[in-house]
C-alpha cells in the first residue's frame, strides 16, 4: 500500500536556543486522551507551531500550513484549539471563507465539550464541566469556558472582525482570503489578552497570483525567502514548477504516484489510491496538480525587469538646486489605503532624476500620505504643480478616484491607457539599461519595489507591462515612477531654473 510522506517538503520555523516543545507534547497527549490521535505529520505541524522560547513566548507568531484537502489539517488545528482553550485559557477567533466550513469546525470541536452547559449526555463530563456557555445560534457559534478559554466561529467578510478580542486568529480556507477581510480581522488580536497574538493560515494554493488569496501567498513567499523570522510554515507538495510544464509534462507529473505520496500525508491512513485515481480521471492535469498535489503558482523571479547592478550604478547623492520638477506620477495600492507619489526632475543632457515623494507637509507639518484626505492631496499637488506640471496615472489604478478632484482644480492630468502604459514601462526599462538617462536617490522603498518588479507580456511585438514577482512586493513605487518619467518626457515643460531646493520637490 502506498503511504503518504509524514515529512513536509517545506518546514520553516524558528528554533531559538533553549526553546521548549512542552506545550506541543502536552497538547498531543491531551487530545489523544480524548480520542483524537494526531498522525506523525500532524505532530510535526504542532511542534513547529507551538515552540516556546526560554522567555515562555511563542517562537513564531505567524503559523502556516498548506496541505491538500481531506488530509486532516483541521485535525491538527483541533488538537491546538482544545489545548489552547482548556489548558491555556486562550481566546480564539476561528474564521473560514464559507459559513458551512465554520459550522463544521464548530461541530467537530463541540464533540469534546458537549451540546450545552451541564450536558448530562456529554461524552467527556470533565470537559463539559469547564463549559460556561455554548452558543449554537447560526453565525454566532461559540464555546466559552470558565477559565476564560473561548473559541468563536465566523464566516469572513469585510466587517467580520468587528467586536472581537482574541489571542489567536485562525484563517482557514486561506486560499480565498482577501486583503480587505484580513484588515477587518487583524485588529481582533492587536490587543490580545495573553499579550502573544498568533495568526494561523491554513489552506491550499489559490488558482493564480491574483488578489484572492493574496495574504496567504504573501506569508508563504516571505517564509520561503527568509524575510519573516517569526513564521512557522509547513507544506506538503512535490518539487516542481507547474508554470514551466507543458500539458504532456503536467499529465505525466500528475500520474506519478510518488508525487501523490509526497503531497498527501494521509495517504494510506484515511485516504486511498482509488480515490486519487478517480480524481486523476475527473480533473484536468492543471487542476489535479493544484488540488491534489498542492502545487503553488511560482513567483516570477526568473524574469525580473531590472538589473539591480545597473539600477544601483545610477545612484545620485544630491540633486542640484536648478533641476526643476518635470512631472509627478501617482499610484495607489489595491486596498486603497496608501497613495504613492513619485517625482521626475529635469536634468542636463535630456536626462531625468526620479525619486519617491515619501514626506509631504501641510502648513509646515509632516503628513503621512496614507492619512491625507482626497482634498488634502489635491490641495498639496495644486500648490506644487499648478497648471504647469503634468500629473500622470495608470488608467487601471485605484488612484483614478483622484482624477476628478485634480481636474476640477485645472491641473494637467494624464491617464495612461494600456498601450501608453506599456510604452511607459519600456521607457523606464530603456532609461535604466540602454540609455542610462535617469538617476535616483537609492530610497529603500523604491529600490525594493524595482528589485521585485517583473515583465509581463502585453499584446504583440515584444510589448510588456510591469508586474510584481509575488505579493510580498509593493509595486506602487515602480508604477508611480514609471508614470512620472513618461509624463516628464512626453508632457513636461522645462521652466526657468528655480532658486532653491534640496531634492526634487520642496515639501
Res. 232 pLDDT band, cuts 50 70 90: very high
Which is more confident, 461 or 123? 123
Q: Is 276 exposed, middle or buried (0-12, 13-18, 19+ CB in 10 A)?
A: buried
Residues 6+ apart with CB under 8 A from 312: 442
pLDDT for 367: 58
Across residues 434-441, what is the average pLDDT?
A: 94
The cell numbers describing 362, all together, are: 501641510
Whole-angstrom distance, CA of residue 428 vs CA of residue 426: 6
Res. 299 pLDDT band, cuts 50 70 90: low
Beta-strand relationship, 150-155 and 91-96: parallel
Whole-angstrom distance, CA of residue 157 vs CA of residue 184: 8
pLDDT for 497: 53
Res. 301 pLDDT band, cuts 50 70 90: very low
pLDDT for 37: 95
Answer whether residue 358 shows pLDDT above 90: no
Res. 473 pLDDT band, cuts 50 70 90: confident
Answer whether residue 383 shows pLDDT above 50: yes
Transcribe 383-394 into DSSP letters: HHHTTTS-EEEE
pLDDT for 45: 97
CB 105 within 8 A of CB 98: no
pLDDT for 229: 87
Distances in Å between the Cα of 104 and the Cα atoms of 108, 109, 144, 161 are: 6, 9, 17, 20
pLDDT for 333: 84
Res. 490 pLDDT band, cuts 50 70 90: very high
By C-alpha distance, which of 185, 190, 209 is closest to 201? Answer: 185
Its sign, for the CA torsion 258, 259, 265, 268, is negative
**Which range among 156-170, 268-282, 298-312, 430-444 shows the weakest confidence by mean pLDDT?**
298-312
Domains annotated for the chain, with CATH where assigned, are 10-236 (3.40.50.300), 241-298 (no CATH), 303-491 (3.30.420.240)
Transcribe 244-290 into DSSP letters: G--HHHHHHHHH-HHHHHHH-TTBTTTB-HHHHHHHHHHS-HHHHHH
Which is more confident, 161 or 419? 419
pLDDT for 368: 64
CB 179 within 8 A of CB 214: yes
pLDDT for 504: 52
pLDDT for 496: 60
Amino acid at each position: 500500500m502506498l503511504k503518504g510522506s509524514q515529512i513536509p517538503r517545506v518546514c520553516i520555523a524558528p528554533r531559538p536556543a533553549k526553546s521548549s516543545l512542552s506545550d506541543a507534547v502536552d497538547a498531543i497527549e491531551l487530545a489523544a486522551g480524548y480520542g483524537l490521535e494526531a498522525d506523525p505529520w500532524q505532530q510535526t505541524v504542532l511542534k513547529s507551531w507551538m515552540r516556546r522560547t526560554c522567555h515562555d513566548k511563542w517562537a513564531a507568531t505567524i503559523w502556516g500550513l498548506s496541505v491538500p484537502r481531506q488530509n486532516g489539517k483541521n485535525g491538527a488545528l483541533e488538537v491546538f484549539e482544545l489545548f489552547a482553550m482548556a489548558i491555556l485559557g486562550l481566546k480564539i477567533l476561528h474564521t473560514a471563507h464559507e459559513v458551512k466550513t465554520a459550522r463544521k469546525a464548530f461541530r467537530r470541536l463541540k464533540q469534546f465539550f458537549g451540546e450545552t452547559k451541564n450536558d448530562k449526555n456529554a461524552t467527556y463530563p470533565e470537559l463539559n464541566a469547564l463549559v460556561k456557555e455554548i452558543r449554537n445560534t447560526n453565525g454566532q457559534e461559540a464555546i466559552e469556558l470558565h477559565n476564560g478559554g473561548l473559541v468563536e466561529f465566523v464566516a469572513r467578510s469585510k466587517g467580520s472582525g468587528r467586536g472581537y478580542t482574541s489571542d489567536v486568529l485562525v484563517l482557514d480556507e486561506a486560499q480565498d482570503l482577501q486583503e480587505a477581510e484580513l484588515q477587518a480581522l487583524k485588529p481582533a488580536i492587536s490587543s490580545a489578552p495573553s499579550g502573544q497574538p498568533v495568526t494561523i493560515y491554513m489552506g491550499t494554493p489559490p488558482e493564480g497570483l491574483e488578489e484572492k488569496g493574496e495574504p496567504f501567498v504573501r506569508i508563504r513567499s516571505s517564509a520561503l525567502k527568509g524575510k519573516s523570522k517569526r513564521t512557522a510554515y509547513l507544506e506538503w507538495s512535490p518539487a516542481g514548477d507547474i508554470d514551466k510544464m507543458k500539458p504532456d509534462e503536467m499529465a505525466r507529473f500528475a500520474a506519478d504516484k510518488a508525487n501523490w505520496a509526497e503531497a498527501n500525508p494521509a495517504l494510506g491512513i484515511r485516504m486511498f489510491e482509488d480515490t486519487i485515481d478517480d480524481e486523476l480521471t475527473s480533473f484536468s492535469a492543471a487542476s489535479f496538480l493544484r488540488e491534489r498535489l498542492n502545487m503553488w503558482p511560482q513567483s516570477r523571479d526568473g524574469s525580473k525587469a531590472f538589473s539591480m547592478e545597473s539600477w544601483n550604478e545610477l545612484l545620485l547623492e544630491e540633486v542640484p538646486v536648478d533641476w526643476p520638477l518635470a512631472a509627478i506620477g501617482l499610484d495607489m495600492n489595491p486596498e486603497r489605503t496608501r497613495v504613492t507619489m513619485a517625482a521626475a526632475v529635469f536634468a542636463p543632457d535630456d536626462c531625468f532624476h526620479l525619486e519617491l515623494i515619501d514626506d509631504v507637509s501641510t502648513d509646515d507639518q509632516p503628513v503621512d500620505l496614507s492619512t491625507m484626505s482626497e482634498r488634502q492631496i489635491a490641495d498639496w499637488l495644486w500648490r506644487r504643480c499648478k497648471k504647469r506640471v503634468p500629473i500622470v496615472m495608470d488608467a487601471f489604478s485605484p488612484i483614478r478616484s483622484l482624477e476628478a478632484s485634480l481636474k476640477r482644480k485645472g491641473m494637467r492630468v494624464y491617464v495612461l491607457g494600456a498601450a501608453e502604459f506599456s510604452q511607459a514601462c519600456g521607457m523606464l526599462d530603456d532609461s535604466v539599461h540602454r540609455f542610462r538617462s535617469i538617476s535616483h536617490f537609492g530610497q529603500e522603498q523604491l529600490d525594493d519595489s524595482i528589485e521585485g518588479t517583473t515583465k509581463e507580456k502585453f499584446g504583440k511585438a515584444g510589448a510588456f507591462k510591469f508586474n510584481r514577482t509575488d505579493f510580498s512586493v509593493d509595486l506602487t513605487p515602480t508604477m508611480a515612477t514609471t508614470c512620472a518619467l513618461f509624463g516628464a518626457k512626453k508632457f513636461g515643460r522645462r521652466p526657468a531654473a528655480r532658486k532653491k531646493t534640496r531634492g526634487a520637490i520642496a515639501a
